[in-house]
Structure 1
Amino acid sequence: MNLVSVRLITDDVKRLVAFYERALHTPATWSTDDFAEVRTPTGTLAIGSTRTVGLFGPGAAHPADNHTAIIEFLVADVDAEFARLSPWLTDVVTVPTTMPWGNRSLLVRDPDGTLLNFFTPVTADAVARFAGHDR
């Protein structure tokens, strides 16, 4: 079994897609006005309109209501990413900080409030854990 994607539901697909295209330096692939995907080498961030929720069942998801998950992106240099992103980010939660488990992390929120972690392994153990992953 493989985790293929994470899907975010939003009231404003264009705004959220534009944020992720800019943040991830990756263009989205649009299927319809209500659904787009931002693909990375290891997974896909899918973004769907609230109009798509009914296909899964009424009330199956609520936009801008995530308080339990952190979407994480492995990057080559988190400090360089912070420098690139900081001029236009509106919600920085934690500037690049080395965490006890060996990753240097930048935590921000997307326009809908979803927490994102851009991180770079910096200790030997952390680097070993992520060996073979693209950055």
Structure 2
Amino acid sequence: MNFVSVRIITSDVQRLVRFYGEITDMPVTMYTEDFAELATPACTLAIGSTRTLQLFGDDVTRPADSHTAIIEFRVGDVDAEFARLSDTIKDATVQKPTTMPWGNRSLLFRDPDGNLVNFFTPVTAEAIKKFDK
């Protein structure tokens, strides 16, 4: 088995495509007006409109209503990313770069739909070893 994707359902695909393209500085591929993907070497972040859920039935998910998941990106230097994105995420920052007890330096902020996003950099020898497998 291989974990390959997480999909965010939104009522505004274009807004999230612009946001994730800007924060990751990576291209987001629009396949249709209702579906896009940000492909990284480890996993894909898919962005789908609420219209894509019509295939699965009513009330499968509610856009902009996530309070349990965090979308995480490993970055080379979380402090540099915070400086780069300071204007973009200034009103959405939940936690400025902080070294966590498990060895990652972490920046938490919300995307335009309110989903939590974590940019992190392993900083302790143990955390670095874990992610450099």
Give the Cα–Cα distance (whole angstroms) in 1 for the partners of residues 56 and 76 of structure 2: 37
Number of the residue aligned with 2:32: 32
AA of the residue aligned to 2:25: H
Number of the residue aligned with 1:97: 98
Tell me the TM-score normalised to structure 1 length.
0.95
Shift of 1:35: 0.5
Number of the residue aligned with 1:49: 49
Shift of 1:57: 2.1
Number of the residue aligned with 2:117: 116
Deviations 1:58-115 (A, max 9, x none): 1111100110111110001000000111112130000000000000000000000000
In the alignment, structure 2 segments of 5+ residues that lack a partner are none
Tell me the TM-score normalised to structure 2 length.
0.96
Structure with the higher fraction of residues in helix conformation: 2
Number of the residue aligned with 1:63: 63
RMSD across aligned C-alpha pairs, in angstroms?
A: 0.8
Identical pairs, percent: 65
Give the Cα–Cα distance (whole angstroms) in 1 for the partners of residues 27 and 131 of structure 2: 25
